[in-house]
């Protein structure tokens, strides 16, 4: 039993290959979906126990810091 996938002519989408890709993607998602709670729990444990308490910097904090370093205008 041979199932042939048609060759692309380059003029349009190859629907058979697109369908195959969607099926493979769906299978990958279904296999990895049960791992999401485990990964989320591992991430939370890492953040609580092992991650350093570094303050996340935002652009606003950077801008406020730069304004305080500038000399006053007119000098």
What does the pLDDT look like over 12-69, one tens digit per residue?
778 888 999 999 999 999 999 999 999 999 999 998 888 776 666 677 777 777 666 6
* Contact by Cβ (8 Å): 16, 5: yes
Q: Which two tokens stand for residue 34?
A: 């049960």
Taking alpha carbons only, the member of 6, 33, 40 closest to residue 20 is: 6
Q: Which two tokens stand for residue 8?
A: 């692309």
Residue 75 has pLDDT above 60, yes or no: no
**Mean pLDDT, residues 2-12 taken together:** 71
pLDDT of residue 40: 94
* Residues 39-48 as b or e (16 or more Cβ within 10 Å = b): eeeeeeeeee
- Greater confidence (3 vs 55) lies with 3
Please state, in angstroms and rounded to a whole number, the distance separating the CA atoms of residues 24 and 67.
53
pLDDT of residue 69: 64
């Amino acid at each position: 039993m041979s199932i042939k996938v048609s060759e692309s002519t380059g003029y349009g989408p190859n629907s058979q290959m697109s369908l195959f890709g969607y099926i493979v993607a769906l299978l990958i998602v279904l296999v990895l979906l049960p791992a999401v709670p485990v990964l989320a729990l591992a991430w939370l444990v890492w953040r609580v126990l092992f991650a350093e308490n570094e303050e996340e910097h935002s652009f606003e904090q950077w801008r406020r810091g730069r304004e305080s370093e500038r000399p006053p205008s007119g000098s």
